[in-house]
Structure 1
Amino acid sequence: MTETPFCMVLTTTNSQENCDAIISRLLSAQLVACIQTLPVSSHYRWEGKICSDQEILLLMKTQSRHYQAVELAIREVHCYEIPQIIQVPVTDGFQAYLHWIETVTLHPEERG
C-alpha cells in the first residue's frame, strides 16, 4: 500500500468511559489532531454468534507516520479483547486543514 501523509484511524467502543480514556490518551500525547465521535449500531460475528451492539465510533485524524503509535496507545487503554483499529488513507483534502493536522500532531522533540 502506498502511504499518504495523512490518515484517519477508526475504532469503536461500547463504553463512554473507555471512549473518554482513548480520547484523553491520544490528544494528550499529541498523536491525533482531532477525534469525532458518533453513536453507531454494530452488527458482527463473534465466537460463532451474530451479535448487535450500540457502540461509539471514534474518527481520528492524524499523520500516517503516527499510525503505529496511535494503534499502540489505543490497544493500551481499550476495553475490547480485539478492538477495531483501522487506518484509512487520506488521499487529498483542504490544505489548510491538513497543515493544521501536521502542526498539532508534532511530537515535542520535533518542534523547532
Structure 2
Amino acid sequence: MPTQYTVCLVTVGDEKTAAIIAQGLVEGKFAACVSVVGGLTSTYRWQDKLEKSKEFLLLIKTRKNLHEDVEQFVKRNHPNKVPEIIFLDVEYGSREYLDWLGANTMFSSNIPKDKIGNIP
C-alpha cells in the first residue's frame, strides 16, 4: 500500500555542497533525514560530450507533499545548471520508521517559493 512518503535522489560534486543541502533540508523540516553516500562515479552525456565525474549521492527522506519545496531548495543551493533531482515513492516501510519520518517533517508547506532560500 502506497505511503505519503518519498525519497529524493540528488547528486552533487563535492562534500561541502552535500552537507549544505542536507543540513538545510533537515533544519527546515523539509526532510527528516538526508543520507550522504560518497565514492560514486557518474558517467553521462552533457552538451553532446561524454563526461565522467566523482559525486556524492543524497538520499532525502521526506513527505510527497513537500517535493516542490525540496526541489526548489536543492536548485537554489546546487551549483549545476541541471541538477539531478529524482523522487521515488515509498511503497512500504516499517511503521515505526515512517511515523518517525512524519514526526520530523513539516506536515505541509505554505512557504512562498521565493522564501525557500539559500543556506550560507
TM-score, scaled to structure 1: 0.89
Amino acid of the residue matched to residue 30 of structure 2? Answer: L
Moved more, 99-108 or 8-17: 99-108
Identical columns (%): 28
Query: For the residues of structure 2 that align with 1:26 and 1:34, how far apart are their CA atoms?
Result: 8
Q: 1:108 to 1:82 in 2, by over 3 A?
A: closer
Q: What corresponds to 2:69 in structure 1?
A: 69
Amino acid of the residue matched to residue 19 of structure 1? Answer: A
RMSD value, Cα: 1.7
- Structure 2 residues without counterparts, runs of 5 or longer: 110-120
Q: What corresponds to 1:12 in structure 2?
A: 11
Q: What corresponds to 2:117 in structure 1?
A: none
Q: What corresponds to 1:85 in structure 2?
A: 85
Q: What corresponds to 2:28 in structure 1?
A: 29
**Deviant stretches of 4+, over 6 Å:** none
Check whether the contact 1:30–1:107 (CA below 8 A) recurs between aligned residues.
no
TM-score, scaled to structure 2: 0.84
- Structure 1 residues without counterparts, runs of 5 or longer: none
Check whether the contact 1:41–1:53 (CA below 8 A) recurs between aligned residues.
yes
Amino acid of the residue matched to residue 6 of structure 1? Answer: Y
Q: How many residues align?
A: 107
**2:36 aligned counterpart, secondary structure:** strand
1:21-68 CA deviation, whole Å, 9 max, x = no partner? Answer: 101210111000111111211000001111110000000111101111
Query: For the residues of structure 2 that align with 1:41 and 1:19, how far apart are their CA atoms?
Result: 15
Amino acid of the residue matched to residue 48 of structure 1? Answer: D
